[in-house]
Amino acid sequence: MAGYILKNSIRMFLLIIAVSIAAFLLMTYSPIDPLQTNVGQTALGIMSQEQIEKLETYWGSTLPPLTRYIQWAKDFFSGDMGISLLYRQPVSDIISQRLSNSIWILSAAWILSGVFGIILGMLAGIKEGTLLDHIIKSTAILFSSTPIFWFALLMLMLFSVWLKWFPIGLSVPIGVTAENVTITDRIYHGILPSFVLSIAAMPNIILHTREKMITVLESDYVLFAKAMGKSNQQIFIQHGMRNVLLPAITLQCASISEIFGGSILAEQVFSYPGLGQMAVTAGLGGDMPLLMAIVVITACFVCAGNLLADVLHHIIDPRMRFGKGNKI
Amino acid sequence: MKKRMLYIVLFLILIMIIGYFCNEGAVDTDFAHKNIGPSFYYPFGTDWMGRNLFFRTLRGLSISLFIGIIASSISAFIALFIGMTAVFGGKKADAIVTWMIDFMMGLPHLLLLIVLSMAVGRELKGVILSIALTHWTSFARLIRSELFQLKEKNYIKIAEKLGKGKVYIFQKHMLVHLLPQFIVGWVLLFPHAILHESSMTFLGFGLSSEQPAIGILLSESMQYLVTGRWWPAVFPGLFLVIIVLLLYCLGKDLQKYISQK
Amino acid sequence: MILDMKQITISVNNTILVEDFFLQIASGELVALVGASGSGKSILAHSIMGIAPKNVVCQGEIRYQGEPLTKEKKRDVLGKEIVLVPQNISYLDPLMKVGRQVAKGKKDKISMEKVTKLFQKYNMHSSVMQRYPHMLSGGMARRVFIASALMEQPRLVIADEPTPGLHKEMAQMVVSHFREMAQMGAGVLMITHDLELAMDCADKIIVLYGGKIMEQTNAKSFQSENTLYHPYTKALWKAMPQNGFHTTSVTHPSKTGCPFLKGCTKSKKECMKNIIPYFQKENSIIRCIDAGGKEICF
């Protein structure tokens, strides 16, 4: 077991390194020169000579790209993520602040979409072919075909412009410094983004859980349970739920990537100052140091989710826990 | 069902053609008629420069469909190539392909698109390339497992024993089963490609603001939300959803149709 | 009579699978239902218990101990008086320990003790209770199923293909357990495609072909060709290794008229009619106009 986790952790670590190399190379070959963009030049003014030199070695010099990557990686993983060209602040400061803004709308969306997605999917699967099933299924398909940002726009229009229940943008009221933001403010501003994100992440889990529930209910072991005289309720609790929850939880762990992706759009629409909005700003402004940091942090979360999915599956499923070897 | 598929295809082609001819109507400004709500002459209303949003939406949809076709086609062939490499290229090739798929999935799709667009640039070419280069993963995985299953089938093993060449077996026995699957997968890539194109454009990594793409229309509409002008946001988005849903239905119908055969 | 079925017709999506079927099982009797795989035997078994999928329609009369087997009645007797012995491991929940499944999901002491006893009876170590289904061998799984059937006092045991994949000795042992259940007073219906096995253990054998009963006869009748009356049963007899392996060329039953229409040497015009009555001759019931005997009606 420990060996399995270790093996997979190493694999994930290598994957993160590979992602960072690829992202670095892509940015190196970008026609946008971070040192030449306007914002970059104003930023250069406040940087120390040493910082500018570093920036030049990473992004501007004629050294082979891989050598430059190694220099960047050395600094990055020792904690020096560089200075953001747009914000003229250390990247690590910006990331930690933005991540703390984002993390709770991400986790709220992750938990909400997981809980309600699994419940609705199970319900639709149990009631297969009924009106309820049709409603759940078609709504899920409708939402999976809806661009998140458009849905976010509609919600913004409905709740913020017409009903005026929620603010139109920014996670902090204007005129209040970041330190003075109360927890209620933060929750208040985060409700709509996390709602939109969880709705956007739900169709996938609903449709998968529904399919799985149907297969389980048509399985031989449920048939045998019926032959044993078990009631539908007993069958659901003893067999249905367990067999559906296992793949659903695994899927939900692997869906972290989707939620991070969706947060880019949702945060942009609600002008919520999180990691996702930062990615857009950094990308548009050619702020390489910042974008690289976002890429690596996001890759870490995604890989951790996948790792968790693998490990959980390994722990819960007896077919994985006890191999097929010892038959009698 | 066959009829429904035909109607969907005809409708989409119609949108593309009409959209193509809407270009002039889509960029014409008329400051005498700006910010008009939906009416008989302007079914979807006009924007702040008096441009007809009905034409702009149609034009945007046709751009989306155009990008979708090209990007998903390239992506589908990349997936086919990579899936086949995994199956016929030996164990090492398979390991590399599996790793590559994991690697591509190590980042959220949209972030990957943002990073990629930095290298390949924006505008039409950049959008098509970024989408084409990122959408093959799950489809390649599907083709790979499909081909592996086919390879294990008895009749193929017998054909191998009979000394038939790899190419012969592939053409004669495997292609027949793979082709329908390939077409379905291809069609189902479509809605994804279109959704991601509009997302990228909306964020500013896609088409430029002179183009009346759906993403541009929607991102412009954001500035007028506060004033209560809802039509620039509602109509283009609604029609994008309809197009995506139709493509999804087409793919699912095709899948059902093929499995029945 | 423990089970009395008459004029049973089973259809799936308007395709008829089993037509005009009858079956009587008395206490202490072991009846074997023999037929090629895919002839609708399993669906028949599931239909008796009312657990077949929704698209399966079963018409006709089913009486259990003299009373109609209604939905309410089934709720009372299923798993207690009427038990199923399924085919293979896929009938066990892969995520639940075997012991708990035999105990029907219960965890109380009395149930667990009973399971332990039954496992001992069938020669299984108590550690098997803690195993998951995928860790069982085929023979072990069969014994687990038999143990689960005996958790209560069954009156009717329905065994659906209990032997495939087992070597001969193991198969015979499994079958001997069914014999034991019959001796305890239960009626046993064993569904199988293995005619030899049926001959060894059953009292009565029903031969099914193309969804129709061809012949019902005592197991002893299979000792000689002369005591079999239906051309199809005779053909089956001839195909057995000890009787010379004569196989008939026809494999697919014909859809209209007598299913054996194409394979039979004596077939005539009347055999193409859709309704062929049953005839009684000595202890056998035969569905062949050529067999002689008295026409009977259910």
Same domain, A156 and A278: yes
Q: Is B98 left (phi over 0), alpha (psi -120 to 50) or beta?
A: alpha
Q: What is the pLDDT of residues C177-221, one digit of tens each?
A: 889 889 988 899 999 888 888 888 889 999 888 888 888 888 888
The answer to whether the CB of A137 falls within 8 A of the CB of B206 is no
**pLDDT value for A260:** 92
Residue A104 shares a structural domain with residue A36: no
Burial class (CB in 10 A: 0-12, 13-18, 19+), B227: exposed
Question: Does the beta-carbon distance from A221 to C135 stay under 8 Å?
Answer: no
CA distances (Å), origin B38, targets A161, B44, B257, C147: 19, 5, 40, 74
Reported as a single tens digit per residue, the pLDDT across C225-265 is 888 888 888 888 888 888 777 776 656 788 788 888 877 87
Which of C93, C125, C170 to mutate: most A Cβ within 10 Å?
A: C93
pLDDT band at A59 (very low <50, low <70, confident <90, very high): low
CA C104 vs. chain centroid, Å, equals 23
What type of residue is A170?
Answer: L
- Alpha-carbon span B215 to A153, nearest angstrom: 12
Q: Taken in order B34, B35, B36, B42, is the CA torsion positive or negative?
A: positive
- Per-residue pLDDT band at A160 (split at 50, 70, 90): confident
Task: With a cut of 90, say whether residue A222 has pLDDT above it.
Answer: yes
- Say if CB A86 and CB A282 are below 8 A apart: yes
Out of C49, C131, C137, whose CB is closest to A227? C49
C272/A39: higher pLDDT = C272
Please say whether the beta carbons of A148 and A196 come within 8 A: yes
Q: What would the pLDDT profile of A225-259 be if each residue is shown by its tens digit?
A: 999 988 889 999 999 998 999 889 888 988 899 89
Residue A106 and residue A139 in one domain: yes
The whole domain housing A138 covers 95-285
CB contact under 8 A, A226 and C78: yes
CA distance C2 to B242: 61
- One-letter amino acid identity for B62? S
**What does R_g of chain C's alpha carbons equal in angstroms?**
20
Q: Identify all chain A residues contacting C137, using CB atoms and an 8 Å cutoff.
A: 327-328
Inside any domain, residue A52: yes
Tokens of A328: 């009698």
Do the domain assignments include residue A305? no
Residue A157 makes CB contacts below 8 A (sequence gap 6+) with B225, B230, B233
How far away is chain A from the Cα of C251, in angstroms, using its nearest Cα? 29
Phi, psi of C221 (to 5 degrees): -60, -25
Per-residue pLDDT, A216: 93
Domains in chain B (CATH in brackets) are 2-9+69-260 (1.10.3720.10)
Residue B131 DSSP SS3: helix
What percent of chain C is predicted at pLDDT more than 90?
8
Give the Cα separation of A223 and A106 in Å (integer).
Answer: 40
Nearest to A147 among B111, B199, B234 (CB): B199
Do A217 and C93 touch, CB atoms closer than 8 A? no
Residues A71 and A112 in one domain: no
Interhelix angle A65-77/A288-316, rounded to 10 degrees, is 70
Residues B189-230: pLDDT tens digits? 999 999 999 999 998 888 887 788 888 888 888 877 777 777
Same domain as A122, residue A46: no
- For residue A230 the two structure tokens come to 């078990």
Please indicate, yes or no, if residue A221 is contained in any of the structural domains.
yes
Q: Are both A59 and A186 inside the same structural domain? A: no
Residues A14 and A137 in one domain: no
pLDDT at residue C38 is higher than 70: no
Closest Cβ–Cβ partner in C49, C92, C131 for A221:
C92
Q: What residues of chain B lie within 8 A of the CB of A144, using their CB?
A: 248
- Whether B204 has its CB under 8 Å from any CB of chain A: the answer is yes
CB distance from C136 to chain A under 8 Å?
yes
Please state the domain count of chain A.
2
Same domain, A102 and A52: no
Query: What string of DSSP letters covers C10-60?
Result: EEETTEEEEEEEEEEE-TT-EEEEEE-TTSSHHHHHHHHHT-S-TTEEEEE
Q: Are residues A119 and A262 in the same domain?
A: yes
Residue A312 in any domain: the answer is no
Rounded Cα distance between C64 and A149, Å, is 63
- Give the side-chain half-sphere CA count within 13 A for A133: 13
Cβ contacts of A326 on chain C, cutoff 8 Å: 135
Q: How far apart are CA A121 and CA A137, in angstroms?
A: 8
CA distance B229 to B234: 10
End residue of a domain, out of A41, A76, A111: A76
pLDDT at C288 > cutoff 70: yes
Alpha-carbon span A304 to A307, nearest angstrom: 5
pLDDT digits (tens, 9 = 90+) for C89-118: 889 999 898 988 888 888 888 888 888 888
Pick from B108, B230, B233: CB nearest A261: B108
Q: How close A177 comes to chain B (CA, Å)?
A: 24
Q: Among residues 19-58 of chain A, which lie with CB inside 8 Å of chain B?
A: 19, 22-23, 26-27, 29-32
- In A131-232, DSSP assigns E strands to none
Residue A101 lies in a domain: yes
Q: What angle do CA B208, B212, B213 make, to 5 degrees?
A: 75
Which of A227, A318, A327 shows the shortest C-beta gap to C95? Answer: A318
Q: Note whether A131 contacts C: Cβ–Cβ < 8 A.
A: no
Contact B222 A154 (CB under 8 A): no
Quick: pLDDT tens for C40-68: 788 888 888 888 888 888 888 888 888 88
Write the CATH number for A280: 1.10.3720.10
CB contact (8 A) between residue A148 and residue B199 = yes
Tokens of C139: 């023979």
Q: Are residues B114 and A16, on separate chains, in Cβ contact within 8 Å?
A: no
Terminal-to-terminal C-alpha distance of chain A? 24
- pLDDT tens for chain B, 261 residues long, are 788 888 888 988 888 888 888 777 767 777 777 777 777 777 777 777 777 778 888 888 888 899 999 999 999 999 999 998 888 888 899 999 988 888 888 888 889 998 888 888 778 888 898 899 988 988 998 888 888 888 777 677 777 777 777 777 777 777 778 888 889 889 989 999 999 999 999 988 888 877 888 888 888 888 777 777 777 788 888 999 999 999 999 988 888 888 877
Q: Residues A120, A253: one domain?
A: yes
Do both A105 and A67 map to the same domain?
A: no
What integer is the mean pLDDT of A195-201? Answer: 93
- Looking at residue C128, the DSSP 8-state letter turns out to be G
In DSSP notation, B195-232 reads HHHHHHHHHTSSS-TTS--HHHHHHHHGGGTTTT--HH
Contacts of A39 (CB under 8 A, 6+ apart): A85, A86, A285, A286, A287
CB contact under 8 A, C134 and A319: yes
User: CB–CB of C85/C150 below 8 Å?
Assistant: no
Distance of CA B108 to the CA centre of its chain: 17
Q: Which of B118, B223, B246 should one mutate to test binding to chain A, selecting the residue with the greatest count of A CBs within 10 A?
A: B118
Residue A224 with chain C: CB contacts under 8 Å:
84, 86, 91-92
A30 & A156 share domain: no
Burial class (CB in 10 A: 0-12, 13-18, 19+), A319: middle
**pLDDT of residue A175 exceeding 70:** no
Find out whether C48 and C158 touch, Cβ atoms under 8 Å: yes
Beta carbons of B51 and B211 less than 8 angstroms apart: no
| Chain C positions in Cβ-Cβ contact with residue A246 (cut-off 8 Å) | 95
pLDDT of residue B18: 84
Q: Is the ipTM of this complex over 0.85?
A: yes
* Residues found in chain B: 261
CATH code, C3-81+152-296:
3.40.50.300
What is the C-alpha to C-alpha distance for residues C298 and C283, in angstroms, rounded to an integer? Answer: 16
A324 domain-assigned: no
A23 contact residues in B (CB cutoff 8 A): 107, 115
Q: What is the pLDDT of residue C158?
A: 92
Instruction: Strands of C69-226 (E only): list them.
Output: 82-85, 156-160, 187-192, 204-209, 212-218
What gap in Å lies between CA A115 and CA C207, rounded to an integer?
53
Residues of B in contact with A141 (CB under 8 A): 245, 248
- C16-34: per-residue pLDDT in tens? 888 888 888 999 899 999 8
Inform me whether the C-beta atom of residue B122 falls under 8 Å from chain A C-beta atoms.
no
Paired with C187 in beta bridges are C156
Q: Domain spans of chain C?
A: 3-81+152-296, 84-151
CA–CA dist C3, A160 (Å, integer)? 70
